Amino acid sequence: MKIKHIIISLCIISLFAACSTDEQTTKRGDTGAVTKTLSNKGIIVTAQYLNNKMLYDRFGTRDNPFIEYKEQPLVVISFTMSSGEAMRFRLGRVEIFYLNEWIRPVSRVDLNSYWERVLRNPGAAQTGASKQYNNWSYKTVSQVINENVLQDTVDIVPGANQVSFMLFQGVQNRYGTAKIKIPIYNMNGKEVHEFIFIINT
């Protein structure tokens, strides 16, 4: 009789987990962990955490702006956004609650500015010996950033997948849960839906 009750309880838990599409969890250490959320308006957003190994495999060790960022560890999440209708994403409206603080994403401009300072004037940033980057190219680093990191505003074209990285600063030797709220707007500026991702670092 107890076994039957346990089985029923597990089925109920599974049912609730399957129905919960507005708040999904992916762990920082999970390789290839993917979260997908679908709204009633036909907007699809997937999130995949990219750990250091995945970033090394994809970009190598030279001219890799994600692994070698020295100010704080970067948390890199690959987002895919698609919609049956034209929609708009605004990075400035994203909310991240991490280690009991509200923080903002690291933008494409932020990351480009950091690497321009490091590679064109190594003494201006505390990144260790400047020789570390002697064989790096700012042009290549900037190209990697511009091709992969989300712009401040992204128009989601119907029928196309918009794939880009969202970044935020982690904290050295500290771990916790990040709650990321991503509102999606129509072309008139009205919020259509808000997606919530939970990432355990």
pLDDT, residue 170, reads 79
Q: How confident is the model at residue 108 (pLDDT cuts 50, 70, 90)?
A: very high
Long-range contacts of 104-107 (CB under 8 A, 24+ apart): 104/168, 105/150, 105/166, 105/167, 105/168, 106/74, 106/167, 106/168, 106/169, 107/149, 107/150, 107/152
pLDDT, residue 146, reads 97
Give domain status of residue 70, yes or no. Answer: yes
Identify the CA nearest to 23 among candidates 199, 198, 201, 200: 198
Give domain status of residue 1, yes or no. Answer: no
pLDDT digits (tens, 9 = 90+) for 66-105: 988 877 788 888 888 999 999 999 999 999 998 888 999 9
Give domain status of residue 11, yes or no. Answer: no
Q: How many CB atoms lie within 10 A of CB 70?
A: 13
Give domain status of residue 159, yes or no. Answer: yes
Give domain status of residue 172, yes or no. Answer: yes
Q: How confident is the model at residue 51 (pLDDT cuts 50, 70, 90)?
A: confident
Give domain status of residue 14, yes or no. Answer: no
d(CA 109, CA 115): 10
pLDDT, residue 85, reads 93
Question: 140 is in which domain, residue-wise?
Answer: 22-200
pLDDT digits (tens, 9 = 90+) for 144-195: 999 999 999 999 999 889 999 999 987 776 777 788 999 999 999 999 999 8
- Which CATH number is 42's domain given? 2.60.40
Give domain status of residue 8, yes or no. Answer: no
Give domain status of residue 17, yes or no. Answer: no
* Distance set, CA 194 to CA 16, 67, 130, 143, 178 (Å): 20, 30, 43, 30, 16
pLDDT, residue 17, reads 31
What is the value of pTM for the model shown? 0.77
Q: How many domains does the chain divide into?
A: 1
pLDDT, residue 25, reads 56
